[in-house]
Amino acid sequence: MSELLNPVQTLLRRAQETPDQPYLHQPVKGAWRSYSWGEVADQARRMAAALAALGLAPGSSVAIAGMNTAHWFMADFAAGLGGYVGVGLYPKQSDDAVRYILAHSEAKAVFVGPMPDAQGFMACLPKDIIRIALPYPGVPPCEHDWDALVAGAAPLAAPVARAADAPWSLIYTSGTTGDPKGVIITEANLKFTVAGMLRMMPARPEGEHLLSYLPLAHAFERGAVEGASMYLGAQVWFLEDLEKLAATLTTVRPTRFYGVPLVWTRIQGRILQKLPQKKLDLLLRLPILSTLVRNKIRKQLGLERCWLRVSGAAPLPLPVMQWYARLGIEIYQGYGMTENSIYVSCNLPGQNRMGSVGKPYADSQVRIAEGGEIQNKHAGVTLGYYKDPQKTAELFTADGWLRTGDVGRLDADGYLYITGRLKEIFKTLKGKYVTPAPIEGAFGRNTDIDQLCLVGSGLFQPIMVLSLNAAALAKPRAAVEQELLATLDAVNQTLEPHEAIAKLFVTRDAWTIDNKLMTPTMKVRRNNVEQRWGEALHEAEKDRDRRIVWED
């Protein structure tokens, strides 16, 4: 494509040039249903016309809720075609957040897809919002049904035009604290970031295959999978059940795969359950056998043809990346945030410095301000937060640079390193400041850990709060303790005295979105961890002889 079109113009061109080529692959009760470019464009055009017939004026907000599905894509495309503003909701969004986002965005309609606790979600909807059920099992009855609306509408003749700086989407931050903020994403933002992606990561001639499973309400999945798929001409597969990720990966065999740290560590855990570390180390030391082992593992994971493996959303521990690299699976850590359209920097094949988040893109300006804050400037940066001029003003410096809130450094070769978050740096009772992120990253080498959080505000010395994964919970406690304490000693040797971890606190329960210890994008809610176990940590601190405390 010689000219860069907006997303829905690109969709329509694909449908015109390759109408019968498969695009979206959706599992329903274990059976795959495929949709061609022509079918997807036709359904999206008809739904755009149906929304107009229901009385929605261009510029109105339209919410999309539920797990990732082919119809989530189509609903978003319909919003783009009709001149509406797409607003994504997470499948496990809290009730308060659902109510707030729908009211704040003034959503006139909501597409309801499959999700956990669908009845609870329906109870949060405003009485006057138009409800449209997506055609999947388990979706609650709504006043309108996708298939019926599509069948009863003629396709929209042409996309509704909007100004380049008018909102295309509102992407609400999952927020570790406070109400979600609605980040305005415009057509100009989208075109800029897509142009950069196509320059740095163009489509491979043999075709691109993507798996969509991270929440589409988040900017990363929305851009890297949904948006990129149209410009790359990629085929996209969806998950019917998150528990089927491993099996679906082997079916899809993606060429690009994106994961948050939790995904990479859980895949690592599955490998080690089948092939313990000592045996794996032995096999990798044998010259001929090591190549066979690496190839077999990549094939069993479904990653044998995957050339781009990206980790984002939170830091991936360096030991985990090094572990994968020994298997011939190089993971490229990238960096971005919703406010800059997830476009700052990324490691790439042939240009990967593990531990960094890559070199800033050529058209992404980065500077390190006094105090270490990373600041960013380019045409993909948001205009601001929807209906919030005060927070918008706080988002930018006086000379117009985006304040990321992240602390970092640039090395001599221009690679960017994230060393923490400004708001997460804490001071112990000794009056010394501690930056938790690099310490947590170093501790992440222990493969028994599921989640962790270093806390120290109000304590004399930091304590590492952590939860264990399923494999660790099945081991004898003494064995787990031995490994945890070995990790503690190794990490503490690298720290200043005021940073040293005094003890470990192992929680009884897993950290989940439901118990509000994780955001929908699988980031730890540090404030909630501190609130939930604050008293227990103060009690644990009194017993100076115990280096590891179990909640039970």
CATH number at residue 480: 3.30.300.30
* CA–CA separation, 474 and 451 (whole Å): 17
Q: Give the tokens for residue 403.
A: 């304040």
Structural domain ending residue among the three candidates 371, 398, 422: 422
209-212 and 235-238: which strand pairing?
parallel
- The pLDDT, as a whole number, for residue 315 is 82
Residue 397 within any structural domain of the chain: yes
pLDDT at 220 over 60: yes
Ranking 71-80, 391-400, 495-504 by mean pLDDT, the lowest is 495-504
Residues 417 and 440 both lie in one domain: no
- Compute CA distances 302 → 22, 63, 70, 253, whole Å: 20, 33, 22, 5
* CA–CA separation, 357 and 352 (whole Å): 9
Residue 263 within any structural domain of the chain: yes
* CA–CA separation, 262 and 240 (whole Å): 19
Structural domain ending residue among the three candidates 422, 443, 471: 422
Residues 90 and 128 both lie in one domain: yes
Sign of CA dihedral 198, 200, 204, 207: negative
Rounded to 5 degrees, φ, ψ at 389 are -65, -30
Q: How crowded is the C-beta side of 186, counted as CA atoms within 13 Å?
A: 16
Residue 344's H or E segment, with its range, is: none
The 10 Å Cβ neighbour count of residue 293 is 19
Structural domain containing residue 252: 237-422
Residue 399 within any structural domain of the chain: yes
Task: Please give the angle made by the CA atoms of 326, 329 and 335, to the nearest 5 degrees.
Answer: 115
Residues 290 and 409 both lie in one domain: yes
Residues 285 and 386 both lie in one domain: yes
* CA–CA separation, 384 and 394 (whole Å): 10
Residues 382 and 277 both lie in one domain: yes
Residues 397 and 436 both lie in one domain: no
Quick: pLDDT tens for 380-429: 999 999 999 999 999 999 999 999 999 999 999 999 999 888 888 888 88
**By percentage, how much of the chain surpasses pLDDT 90?**
71
Q: How many domains does the chain have?
A: 3
* CA–CA separation, 440 and 145 (whole Å): 47
Residues 285 and 267 both lie in one domain: yes
Residues 94 and 133 both lie in one domain: yes
Q: What is the CATH number of the domain that holds 87?
A: 3.40.50.980
Residue 224 within any structural domain of the chain: no
Structural domain ending residue among the three candidates 371, 401, 422: 422
Residue 458 within any structural domain of the chain: yes
- The pLDDT, as a whole number, for residue 1 is 43
107-112 and 85-89: which strand pairing?
unpaired
Quick: pLDDT tens for 96-153: 999 999 999 999 999 999 998 899 999 999 999 999 999 999 999 999 999 999 999 9
Residues 246 and 351 both lie in one domain: yes
Residues 373 and 482 both lie in one domain: no
Residue 182's H or E segment, with its range, is: strand 182-186
- The pLDDT, as a whole number, for residue 176 is 56
- Compute CA distances 482 → 203, 224, 490, whole Å: 47, 41, 12
Residues 260 and 319 both lie in one domain: yes
* CA–CA separation, 368 and 353 (whole Å): 19
Residue 226 within any structural domain of the chain: no
The widest CA-to-CA distance across the chain, in whole angstroms, is: 74
